[in-house]
A and B are shown apart, each in its own frame.
Chain A
């Protein structure tokens, strides 16, 4: 399978990337690791006229402690997050989940920014950003702004980025010693989640994210509220399907996915010490 023709442009700096986005606007797609976009292009589900390759902007590849947060450059590859000492200590659930995406080859190429900006509800990292109360830093020709992860995922594969903006950094609150659980149901180890659930417990409370339970990555407010009100893991997990609209496909019906969500949320909460 070969993608439809396109013009390939390589940006070697953030400024150059923004300049090219301004110039090409809606005709262009950004290419980071390419492990979400290229498969869609090979299936001709995406046919951008221009590809702007930002994969060589090294200044956007880092994991560091920064002002009470863990800051991750958008072009940091999953493998580098999974093996980052800073991530493993200060955001252990993020490091763990990054190490569960796809397979080693995918983790060597895929980036956190690409995964989150793609807005695929079946991806694991958006749910972690939601559960941890993360913030997304984006930059365009008019400067930088921060978007709460809760406000970032708008609809199916649509996120709150303007056509001339790019995601440059993902920030999650510093969470050393946090308790957490991540549960993913797949048929093969390397597959996307049929359903996934992540729970993170910090001094600030318990956050719960759901993978592949609707058109966008979800935060489970019902479960979080129940836990905050003193519910047990089993009691709170009964609410896990509230407000979800999973699709039905060959992997399972809506009712099946909602049942699996309740089971996985209970397990994730239990692992998080609820």
Chain B
């Protein structure tokens, strides 16, 4: 079936099987491989993207379900010159990643969290990241990165 949606501000249109999951649509049809497949069972959050501004797990959404809607992936956060977005920059500044596999999902989940709560406490962030697993046991710096991002004026607007 032919589906079209907006990904990172660009219109995408592809002929896909109805059973195509959003994460595979993004990786294989659109060619954006920044979104990772982790557990593939709605648990780990590695595949988190924004759907109309809200975090969702793209392994549990059909591409067909979101035809006509707005999707943002990790590739959409940096500007055209490659300057990283505030959450990405905070991850670099705070050493928020080790192996990096969970990182795109973490960054997207935090981006969504900060839209809903622009002045989170550490506890808000820890609870807000309950849907994202890091197997390097590196949550401390991830939470620090989120707190640092929340203090950037651009994220508070």
**Residues in chain A within 8 A of chain B (CB atoms):** 1-8, 10, 31, 34-35, 38-39, 41-42, 51, 53, 55, 79, 102-106, 108-109, 188-190
Contacts and interface: CB of A to CB of B under 8 A. Distances in A.
A39 B59 CA distance: 9
A55 B62 CA distance: 12
Contacts of A106: 42, 57, 131
B130 interface: yes
Given A104-B112, A106-B57, A108-B55, A39 B19 contact: no
Given A104-B128, A109-B60, A53 B65 contact: yes
Interface stretch (B43-51, B76-84, B94-102, B147-155): B43-51
A55 B56 CA distance: 15
B64 interface: yes
B103 to A, nearest CB: 16
A104 B64 contact: no
A91 B56 CA distance: 26
A42 B58 CA distance: 13
Given A105-B48, A105-B55, A105-B57, A35 B42 contact: yes
Interface in B106-144: 109, 112-113, 127-128, 130-132
Contacts of B132: 103
Contacts of A7: 18
19 contacts: A2-B21, A2-B24, A5-B18, A8-B62, A10-B64, A35-B60, A39-B41, A39-B42, A42-B41, A53-B64, A102-B42, A105-B45, A105-B109, A105-B131, A108-B55, A109-B57, A109-B60, A188-B130, A190-B43
Contacts of A51: 18
Contacts of A109: 51, 56-57, 60-61
Nearest to B24: A2
Contacts of B109: 104-105
Contacts of B128: 104
Nearest to B18: A8
Contacts of B70: none
Contact of B130 (A3, A8, A34, A190): A190
Given A2-B19, A2-B21, A34 B61 contact: yes
B87 to A, nearest CB: 15
A104 B54 CA distance: 9
A31 B61 CA distance: 11
A1 B40 contact: yes
For A34, A102, A103, A105, the residue with the greatest tally of chain B CB atoms inside 10 Å of its CB is: A105
